[in-house]
Structure 1
Amino acid sequence: MDRKYEVSTLKKGLLILDALQQGEPMRMTDIMQLFNLNKSTTFRLLYTLEMTGFIQKEGHTYTASQLKGQQHTSSENIRLNWLVVPSLHQLAEELGETAYIGVLDGMKVMTVQVVEGNHAIRSHTRVGDSAYAHLSAFGKVILAHITDEKLKKMLTHLTQHKATNQTFDDNHLLKEHLNVICQQGYAIDDEETEEGLRCVAAPIFYNGNVIAALAISGPATRLTRKKDRAVSKKIRECSAKITSLL
């Protein structure tokens, strides 16, 4: 076969799938070492294989799925992966700050798409990064729109890690804060994750359920409180556009 017709990303994904079908469950770090891949590439490949049902994640390990008799397509996640990119680029270019998409992953929110801002000093979020959901704007905006039953369960098990002096570490206060976020349609991380960094986020829905969040982040000296209203309006418009595309 002529190698010029090979699709390298597809080949890497198939090699990972074959390894998981042949061997024991593997962690992401094991796969990175086995195929000499970086974290970002490995995460994207594993995420795509998981969302299409070919592999499944149990704790921190991945195994091959038994596809027979299963519906192996998570349409909302597949659509999200493909459809958010143009809107994300447009938002980052318009506001000049880093734009990204996060999804709920257990007690944490994981970044699945990133478009860097155009400033030398900017937020450096990478695909695969994760943090406890109560820390970030896009974590809080997802928590604000999940069902009361799911939120109660999460708050019971959520590790109230305090990253800065601004971080919420009281469940009652956090729940009241989430009610405000739900009413206004956006969330703000006012140096709660990292000192000197602010973030504004809005939810993304699929069939009426929140499945992800769109966010913009940047230095507090540039992404000031005076800009919150204007920035949140643009982010809500962008998240509404993505929701309609889904």
Structure 2
Amino acid sequence: MSNPLKKIQSVERAFALLEALTVMGGQAKLGELVRHCELNKTTAHGLLNTLVALGYVQRQDKFYILGSRLGNLAKPVIAHHQSISAHYKTLLNYAASQSQETSYLAMLAGEQDYVYVEAIRGGDSLRLANPRGRREKLETSAIGKVFLAFTPELVRQLRKADKVSSALSSELSVIYHQGYALDLEQAEIGLNCLALPLYDNGSVTAALGIAGPAARLTEHRLHSLAKQLQRVHFVP
């Protein structure tokens, strides 16, 4: 039987180089990429040459830059994110209006991360940088834990990799039964968060998050907001 967690290291390394180029503003020298990705210089050079040949990276003097072929890959992803954002825009606006804080829309990005696709500020919310496109680990926040709690296959994969502690397992059980997740200054001191799963045709397709100062978004208020949003967005 094949191992569902088996990964091809060369593929991981190639994508690590592409993501490093993105973080570095779209261009970087070989040495910078080697240090960032912690790769052997010969290995990195070979992978970059392959990406150049395929059109996903271009070479300009001493710099490697992201190639135009990546745009074709991104188009359907961007269109899908825009479609999901439009589908839940009314609910996102409602959450921001009722909480007077920033509301977020996120989607899964693989088996370990999620990505923010939209953010809307409420009247009194903090002025935070728009996180659209930013990725976070599933275990690190209320939004990520909502995806884990309501997507059993993700948890099964993480269990096989021995990445689900007993504490996390218990927390996911609580989240599943109450229908939402809270983060009470766990990810960041002074910041409280709420996250709920968003359904389409009976399946969780995205997650809604609300974040704000702990002094305003108290635990009691978060529970109240969660129940209010559950009434608006039908939960199966």
Aligned to 2:103, what secondary structure does the other structure show? strand
Bigger drift between 83-92 and 215-224 goes to 83-92
The 8 Å contact of residues 98 and 124 in structure 1, kept in 2 or not, is answered as: no
Aligned length: 178
Question: Is 1:101 paired with 2:105?
Answer: yes
Calculate the TM-score normalised by the size of structure 2: 0.63
Deviations 1:145-201 (A, max 9, x none): 112x43121345587xxxxxxxxxx61110111011111101001112111111111
The 8 Å contact of residues 102 and 214 in structure 1, kept in 2 or not, is answered as: yes
Question: Is 1:25 paired with 2:56?
Answer: yes
Give the direction of change, closer, same or farther, for the CA distance of 1:123–1:186 in structure 2 (3 Å limit). farther
The 8 Å contact of residues 146 and 209 in structure 1, kept in 2 or not, is answered as: no
Question: Identical aligned pairs, as a percentage?
Answer: 29
Deviations 1:11-30 (A, max 9, x none): xxxxxxxxx9x961259x95
Which amino acid counterpart does residue 147 of structure 2 have in structure 1?
I
Give the direction of change, closer, same or farther, for the CA distance of 1:48–1:235 in structure 2 (3 Å limit). farther
The 8 Å contact of residues 185 and 214 in structure 2, kept in 1 or not, is answered as: yes
Return the match for 1:117 from 104, 117, 122: 122
Which amino acid counterpart does residue 185 of structure 1 have in structure 2?
G
Which amino acid counterpart does residue 218 of structure 1 have in structure 2?
G
- RMSD of the TM alignment (CA)? 3.4
Return the match for 1:129 from 118, 134, 157: 134
Question: Is 1:142 paired with 2:147?
Answer: yes
State the shift of 1:123 in Å.
5.1
Give the direction of change, closer, same or farther, for the CA distance of 1:119–1:110 in structure 2 (3 Å limit). same
Aligned to 1:118, what secondary structure does the other structure show? coil
Please, which runs of 5 or more residues in structure 2 have no aligned partner?
1-50, 59-63
1:201 corresponding residue in structure 2:
195
* Structure with bigger gyration radius: 2
Deviations 1:67-121 (A, max 9, x none): xxxxxxx6xx664232111221222122100001111112111111110222263
Runs of 4+ in 1 over 4 A off after TM superposition: 45-48, 122-125, 155-159
2:205 corresponding residue in structure 1:
211
Please, which runs of 5 or more residues in structure 1 have no aligned partner?
1-19, 35-41, 53-73, 160-169
Distance 1:123 1:234 in 2: 25
Return the match for 2:87 from 62, 71, 83: 83
Give the direction of change, closer, same or farther, for the CA distance of 1:209–1:133 in structure 2 (3 Å limit). same
The 8 Å contact of residues 122 and 218 in structure 1, kept in 2 or not, is answered as: no
1:50 corresponding residue in structure 2:
77
Aligned to 1:144, what secondary structure does the other structure show? helix
Distance 1:185 1:215 in 2: 13
The 8 Å contact of residues 100 and 125 in structure 2, kept in 1 or not, is answered as: no
Calculate the TM-score normalised by the size of structure 1: 0.61
The 8 Å contact of residues 214 and 235 in structure 1, kept in 2 or not, is answered as: no
